[in-house]
Chains A and B, each alone.
Chain A
Amino acid sequence: MPLHHCELCHIDLDRISVRRGGQILLQDVSMHIHCGQLTVLIGQNGAGKTTLIRALLGELPHTGLIRHVDGRGLDIPHLRTGYVPQHLQFDREMPVTVRDFMAASLSKRPVWTGVGKKNRVRVDEALAAVSADGLADQPLGSCSGGELQRVLLALAMNPAPDLLVLDEPVSGIDRNGLKMFLDTLLDLKAKHHMAILLVSHDLRFVREYADHVVLLDKSVLSQGSAAEVFASQEFSAVFGCSGEEEEAE
């Protein structure tokens, strides 16, 4: 009998630990990330949120198991991840359009020879799916923070991932842009039924949108629904107040 009782596929993190230079960055992190759900990782700076993401993406050596499991608890051999970084640090003067940038990742044809008809359509469709139509021919460097996030989301969605990972994608975007971005995300979640793991500092947003919340500080302090986690003692210990007070701020 599997320990979990969910009907659908999920990503099973089993006692993930990361050590570097004698320091423990993560200790025995175990959690499930379900498909069709928005799982939000919260915690203070330095709690290991980004470390966990990098371990999940295979960027950092770690111990413990990451399994992609179907509804019957059987292993699915491949886990395709899509990743949306916190921000891009690049030379904004670079003569690269959004279309070049997208086509360089989606197709084999070198983009200095141009972007073929088929790939033009592919890029347009990918951008339209995240309500970023019309950005394709803009230079990448002239995109605003919110526009860049959409482009990165469009990229992470192609090819369609089993797990979409977003590292604080909502920082540096105004309230309006944020609402739009999150609605797009929920839309994608409903349409593709993929698992989404998101790091966030915005607790108001967490209560409103998260299906599952994980409070992290080197290891998992508390997890469950937003209401459960926000009411926990561990939450007050970490954030210095109850979830209700924090939201009222």
Chain B
Amino acid sequence: METVYSILGTILPLEAYQFNFMKNAFLAVLLLTPLLGLLGTMAVNHQMAFFSDALGHSALTGIGLGILLGLRNDLVAMLVFGIIWAVLICVIKQSGSASADTVISVFSSTSVAAGLLILARGGKFAKYSALLIGDILAVTPGDLLWLLLALIGTLILWALLYNALLLTSVDHFLARSRGIRTRLVECAFVVMVAVAVMLSIRWVGVMLINALLILPAAAGRNIARSSRQHAAWSVVLALFSGLAGLTLSYYLDTSAGASIVLVSALCYAVSLAVRSARR
């Protein structure tokens, strides 16, 4: 890790990056934003922005249940619960019993309420309020390893699933007629999003996680014409917002997560302008 720190110290001759916690945060942003940016392209194409929002909220329940069950590791509780929750929403959505956004809304509010119920017992919620806004400056080298593994895992799965997901997002029936198991592919994608969201939520926070997933992809979509451009723009904008937001937050003494999201929002505004200028 010392080697990585000294390399970072050399390539980032800024006052902000003298400190190891800023270097850790920098690396976390470097791993996390491309991961979310890439997954975001499909979340946007599949019109799942609301879904990922609900997924972020379910982290509260995950931690709550982890405490009830006496699990010492929050992350495991969140991951297990997040995956189950995601698959459940996916299956109910596919059964077509109610319109998708209604289903998601029911799930979202239920999980927030259940999470609050458990976490706020005896007025102890303040202990968990950090979860709502996240703290990227608290990332440790051990956490970075998790993020690195998640990024590698996602890239592998993403390579295997992307084409099938793309066809499914264009037309389910056509995709099925070409031998794609659309339900399985969709559920696999949803699980990937769940894992990415749960891994990042402690650093970004329940309230802002969805912005990191959706904003760069939505901005990329305004500029891109092809799938490749979409992926590239989304990753570049996510990285840019992440690193610019983190650096600015140090000098302006603001919340890192909020600064990152505001830079993304600015990118989105610029992308809209680019798009309307083209027409």
Instruction: Please state if B177 and A81 are interface contacts (CB–CB under 8 Å).
Output: yes
* Interface 9-mer from B22-30, B56-64, B79-87, B164-172: B164-172
Which single residue of chain B is at the shortest CB-CB distance from A53?
B177
A245 in the interface (beta carbon within 8 A): no
B45, B159, B178: which contacts A110 (Cβ < 8 A)? B159
How far apart are the CA atoms of A96 and B41 in the complex, in Å? 11
Bound complex: CA of A57 vs CA of B225, how far in Å? 33
Q: Which of A95, A110, A139 has the most CB of B within 10 A?
A: A95
Question: Interface segment, A5-13, A100-108, A201-209?
Answer: A100-108
**Bound Cα distance from A89 to B226, whole angstroms:** 19
Residues of B close to A27: CB separation below 8 A: none
Q: Are A88 and B47 also in contact (CB < 8 A) when A59-B176, A111-B162, A112-B230 are?
A: no
Interface size class of A (residues with CB under 8 A): 20 to 34
Asked whether, in the complex, the Cβ of A112 is within 8 Å of the Cβ of B221, the reply is no
What 1/0 mask marks residues of chain A from 129 to 171 whose CB sits below 8 Å from any chain B CB?
A: 0000000010110000000000010010000000000000000
Shortest CB-to-CB span from B210 to chain A, Å, is: 19
Cα distance A110–B154 in the bound complex, in angstroms = 13
Which single member of B38, B162, B171, B229 contacts A95 (CB below 8 Å)?
Answer: B229
Cβ of B231: which chain A residues have Cβ within 8 Å of it? 112-113
Number of residues of chain B lying within 8 A (CB) of chain A? 30
Q: Chain B's nearest CB lies how many Å from the CB of A139?
A: 6
Does B48 count as interface, using CB distance less than 8 angstroms? Answer: no
Task: Please give me the residue from chain B that is nearest to A115 by CB atom.
Answer: B228
A103 and chain B: residue at smallest CB distance: B163
- A104 to B228 Cα, complex, angstroms: 12
CA–CA, A199 and B229, complex, Å: 38
| Pair B166/A85 contact, Cβ less than 8 Å | no
Scoring B residues 33 to 64 as 1 if CB is less than 8 Å from chain A, else 0, what string do you get? 00000100100010100000000000000000
Residue B117 is within 8 A (CB to CB) of chain A in the complex: no
B94 vs chain A, min Cβ distance (A): 15
Residue from B47, B166, B177, B228 in contact with A91 in the complex, judged by beta carbons closer than 8 Å:
B47
Q: How many angstroms from the CA of A89 to the CA of B171 in the assembled complex?
A: 7
Contact check, B45 vs A85: say whether CB atoms are below 8 A apart. no
Which residues of chain B are near A103, meaning CB under 8 Å? 163
Q: Which of A57, A103, A107, A114 has the most CB of B within 10 A?
A: A114
Given that A83-B174, A89-B171, A95-B230 are known contacts, is A104 also in contact with B225, CB under 8 Å in the complex?
Answer: no
A111 to B41 alpha-carbon distance, docked (Å): 13
**When the two chains form their complex, are residues B170 and A101 in contact, meaning their CB atoms are under 8 A apart?**
yes
Docked pose: A228 CA to B230 CA in angstroms? 54
Other-chain contact of A85, B169, B174, B224, B227 (Cβ < 8 Å): B174
In the complex, whether B158 has a CB less than 8 A from a CB of chain A is yes
With A59-B173, A85-B173 as contacts: A105 and B178 at CB distance below 8 Å:
yes
A19 to chain B, nearest CB (A): 20
Given contacts A112-B230, A139-B226, 14 further A-B contacts (CB under 8 A): A59-B173, A59-B177, A83-B174, A94-B169, A95-B224, A96-B230, A100-B226, A104-B166, A110-B162, A111-B228, A112-B231, A115-B228, A137-B226, A140-B170
- Give 7 closest A-B pairs by Cβ, nearest first: A110-B162, A112-B231, A104-B163, A95-B224, A83-B177, A100-B227, A95-B230
What are 23 A-B contacts defined by CB distance under 8 Å? A59-B177, A83-B174, A83-B177, A83-B178, A85-B171, A85-B173, A85-B174, A85-B177, A90-B169, A91-B169, A93-B221, A94-B170, A95-B220, A95-B227, A97-B225, A100-B228, A101-B167, A105-B178, A110-B159, A110-B163, A111-B163, A112-B158, A112-B231
